[in-house]
Amino acid sequence: MTPAPPTRSLGKVGGIDRVFVVGAGIMGRGIAAQAALAGYPVDLADVRRELADAGAEGARALLRDGAARGRWTEAAAADAAARLRAVDGLGAAEEADLVIEAAPEQLDVKRRLFAELERRARTTAILATNTSSLPIREIGRELRSSDRLLGLHFFNPVLRMPLVELIRGASTRPDVAAAARRFAEGLGKTVVESNDTPGFVTTRALGVLLNEAVEMLESGVATRDDIDAAYRLGFHHPMGPFELADLVGLDTALAILDVLYDGFHDPKYRARPLLRSMVAAGKLGRKSGEGFYRYPASPPGSGEGKAA
C-alpha cells in the first residue's frame, strides 16, 4: 500500500485558542489528535463519558503510533496527548472558539446537536461539521446563527490524509470561512472548497466508486480480493474499495449513499442490497471487527488490525 504523504502541523491560528470535538468515533478521535498535535487544547465529547474516554485514549494511541513510525517525536506526541481532555456532555462548548461535530451521518442527530451547541457556545465561536455528505444549509436550517456554521470535511485516517474539504452554507460568513481555512491549513492540510451540494466533491466520487465495486461483487464479476487488487494496482489507489469501505465504516458508507440518492434521485447512487444487508447484520467494517474483511481485535484508535 502506498503511504499517503505525511501532514505537517504548522501550529495554532490566532483567534482559535480551544477546540471542542463532538463525537469521539473514528473521525472525532483523529481530528482531536491532529488539533492537539498543532498545539490546541482539545475537549472531546460523546453520548456517554466512557465513549469520550475511549475516544481520547484512541487519539493518544494514534499520537503514540505516529511517533513510533517517526512521523513526529515522542515528546510531541506526549505534549499533544496532554492537551486532550475527555468531557461529559456539551458544556465544553462554552470555552471553545471552534466546535467540530463528528457525530453519525444523520441529519436529525446533527440538527439536534447544533441546536444545543449554538445555545451553549460563545457567539464568536465557529461551528463546523465533519459531515461527508449532508448539505450545510440543511444541517443549519433551524439555527439562528447559521452564518457561523460551515463544513470542514476531514479524511480518514485524519493524521495521514492531507485534504480538508471546506463547504460554505448559504449564509456562512466570509470571515468564518477564512478562519476555518487558516485553522485547517495550520494543521498541515490542503483545503479545497466545494459548493453546498450533497456529497460535495469527494463523497460523490466515493459513492459511485464504492457502489460499482459492490455491484460487481454481487453479480460475480470478480472476487473481493481481485476487485480490491484491480483498483489498487490498476489505478494506483492506496487501497481497494472494500478495504476503503471497511475503513470508512459500512454504516457511514450506506448513510452517505442514501443522502446522495435522496439529493439527486440518480440510480447510480442507490445503495446496493449487499451493503444494506451487511449493515443490518452489524458488519460495519473495522470498527465492528468485520465488514468485507475480518479484523482481529486491535488497540483502540490504532485502525491497524490486519484484514483477512
Ligand X SMILES: NC(=O)c1ccc[n+]([C@@H]2O[C@H](COP(=O)([O-])OP(=O)(O)OC[C@H]3O[C@@H](n4cnc5c(N)ncnc54)[C@H](O)[C@@H]3O)[C@@H](O)[C@H]2O)c1
Identify which range of 76-84, 101-109, 192-200, 272-280 contacts ligand X by CB under 6 A. 101-109
CB of 165 to ligand X, least distance (A): 9
Q: Which of 43, 97, 105, 228 binds ligand X (CB under 6 A)?
A: 105
How far apart, in Å, are the Cα atoms of 172 and each of 71, 133, 242? 35, 17, 36
Q: Does 23 bind ligand X (CB under 6 A)?
A: yes
* CA 120/CA 90 separation, integer angstroms: 8
Q: Which of 131, 146, 172, 211 binds ligand X (CB under 6 A)?
A: 131
Q: Which of 12, 20, 25, 188 binds ligand X (CB under 6 A)?
A: 25
* CA 93/CA 89 separation, integer angstroms: 9
Residue 103: CA atoms inside 13 Å, Cβ hemisphere, count? 21
* CA 55/CA 57 separation, integer angstroms: 5
Q: Does 28 bind ligand X (CB under 6 A)?
A: yes
Neighbours of 41 (CB within 10 A): 17
Q: Does 204 bind ligand X (CB under 6 A)?
A: no
CB of 224 to ligand X, least distance (A): 19
Q: Which of 19, 24, 92, 126 binds ligand X (CB under 6 A)?
A: 24
Residues 6+ apart with CB under 8 A from 199: 132, 133, 206, 207, 256, 259, 260, 263
**What are the E-state strand segments in 25-109?**
42-45, 84-86, 98-101
Q: Which of 27, 35, 84, 164 binds ligand X (CB under 6 A)?
A: 27
Residue numbers 165-184 binding ligand X by CB under 6 A: none
CB of 116 to ligand X, least distance (A): 9
Q: Does 115 bind ligand X (CB under 6 A)?
A: no
Cβ atoms 305, 286 nearer than 8 A: yes
Q: Does 211 bind ligand X (CB under 6 A)?
A: no
Cβ atoms 152, 131 nearer than 8 A: no
Residue numbers 244-303 binding ligand X by CB under 6 A: 248-249, 252, 287
Residue numbers 40-69 binding ligand X by CB under 6 A: 45-47, 51
Q: Which is nearer to ligand X, 217 or 254 (CB)?
A: 254
* CA 48/CA 45 separation, integer angstroms: 8
Binding site for ligand X (CB under 6 A): 22-28, 45-47, 51, 102-105, 109, 113, 130-132, 153-156, 248-249, 252, 287
